[in-house]
Each structure stands twice: as structure tokens, then as C-alpha cells.
Amino acid sequence: MTFLLSVSVLAAVYVAMYGLERLPGLRFRPLPFRRRYFTTDVAWYGVAVAITAVSVFVLQPVISKLAIEPIARNVAAMPTVARVLLAFLLFDLISYTVHRALHRYDALWSFHKVHHSTLQLDGLAQTRAHMCENMLRFVPGQIVMFLIGIPIAEVAPVLAFAAIYGVFDHSNLGINFRWAEALFVTPRLHRRHHVPSSSHQNFGPVLTIWDRMLGTFVSLDTAADEQFGVPGEVDTYPQRFDKAVRRPMLDVRQAVRNRRAPRPLEPSG
Ligand SMILES: [Zn+2]
Ligand SMILES: [Zn+2]
């Protein structure tokens, strides 16, 4: 029931944002209502819902029993607000760390390229993520929250908030939210992460503090005509779902093959 409610609320957020971010007074750049690759991202949305269902009905019943003592006892004694805040901070830090790893390691980057392949940012673009990336982004954070004894009833709203915040992060809203950037990621900041030249900055999902502390923060405006996309593959990375869903495995296989190929002999002398 909670799962259906969360999926319905998230779907309503997507629909509302889809309209708002296209309004002349609110938008960053003009985007058509009949958006390109709409079916691609709706298909990725379906994948995300399926992965969430696996997480809720298969994974959570197992990992929610992982609480370790005496940490869990101390966490249970905390006031609810402090406990939820702790859960949120941990989850956000782990998401930041996973996101950096997705960029750092070739095999993980092969999967994360799917997310970066979007050519126009809007709320729906946040759903464009390979199922392996979805698992990596949501499972480690949940395991840590359950290990320290956060109950499911408090883990679920943290996950739902992160998903809803992602819609805002990726939106085409051009409203000035700079007043919030000391603490929070805004569409202006996440936009920089999708510009190929600055894709190694602004990894934070909700909070800017991790980027600020670890030297990956950048505060730059993006020009209205600046391009988004996979660095070096803006024009070539597949946009269709059926091709993109298979692409990461092909990239990984190619990378392994390249590594195994005999190196050309060094010229002597
Ligand atoms: Zn990224
Ligand atoms: Zn993104």
C-alpha cells in the first residue's frame, strides 16, 4: 500500500513538474511539450519502478533485519526528528560517494553514461538511469541505514524524498534558488554536472556540503544554448531505450577486450 502511494505521489510530482518547467516565467530554456525521447524516458521510469518494487518486496524484508547492537539501541533512543535527519545525512553522503565512484571506475561509468546521455534536462530526465545504477544508488545507503537501526517506516520517507528531490534537481526550472545553495543542490548546480566539461563536479544529490568539503563544488551558470550529454559521445551515444539498455555491457566487454589485446611493440632504439 505504501509502495503504491509512493509511486502515485512520485508520478504526480513528475506530471506537475513537466508542466511547470515549461512555463515561460519559470523555465530555464524553452522546451517543447512534445518532448523528444519521451518514450525512452518513460521506459526508464518503468525500469525504476520495477527496481523499487524489488527493493521494497524482496530486499528490504531481508536487510531491515541487519541492525547491529549496541548502535541500533542508541539510535532507537534518539528523538524521531534527529534519527530521520541522521538517516538522511548518511543516505545523502553515500549517494554522493556512489556517484563519484560511478564516474571514477570505467566499468561503473559505462552504466552511468546512460544517465548522462540525456540531451535536454527536465524532471523526467532523472529517470534515465540503468537498472544496475539504480541498485548501486539505492541499496548501499539502505543497508547502512538498516545496520544502524533506522526502522523501515523512517527509511521509506528518506528514499521517497531523495527520489522527489531528483525530479527538482534535473528540472528545467530557471527560478533563482541561489539563496539555498549554501546547503542545497539546485537545478542550476546539477545542470553543471550534465555539461560535459564540468561533469566531474557537483556530484551531490541533495546537499552541497559534500561537494564543498571534498573540493568538487562548482558554482557556474549554464548558458541557455550549452549542450548536455556524455563527454566525448554527445552525438553518438544511443538515445533509444532498446539500444541504451544493452550499451553498458557492450562497453564493458569492449574495455575488457582492449585490455587483453596485445600491446604494439615499442620501437627499438
Ligand atoms: Zn554523474
Ligand atoms: Zn543527473
Ligand 2 center from residue 129 Cα (angstroms): 9
Domain range summary for the chain, segments of one domain joined by +: 2-259
Class of residue 238 by CB neighbours under 10 A (exposed 0-12, middle 13-18, buried 19+)? middle
pLDDT at 263: 65
Which amino acid is present at 109? W
Predicted structure pTM score: 0.90
Alpha helical stretches, state H, 148-186: 152-169
| Alpha-carbon separation of residue 155 from 1, 22, 31, 54, 87 (angstroms) | 16, 33, 35, 16, 7
Ligand 2 center from residue 259 Cα (angstroms): 29
Ligand 1 center from residue 178 Cα (angstroms): 21
pLDDT at 257: 83
Ligand 1 center from residue 240 Cα (angstroms): 19
Output DSSP code: residue 264.
P
Q: Of the bound ligands, which one is closest to the alpha carbon of residue 129?
A: 2
pLDDT at 269: 47
- The closest of 250, 253, 248, 254 to 116, measured between CA atoms, is 248
Ligand 1 center from residue 262 Cα (angstroms): 32
Residue 56, CA atoms < 13 Å, CB-side half-sphere? 18
Ligand 2 center from residue 119 Cα (angstroms): 11
pLDDT beyond 90 at 268:
no
Ligand 2 center from residue 8 Cα (angstroms): 22
Ligand 2 center from residue 112 Cα (angstroms): 10
DSSP 28-50: SS---SS-TTHHHHHHHHHHHHH
Tens digits of residue pLDDT in 108-161: 999 999 999 999 999 999 999 999 999 998 899 999 999 999 999 999 899 999
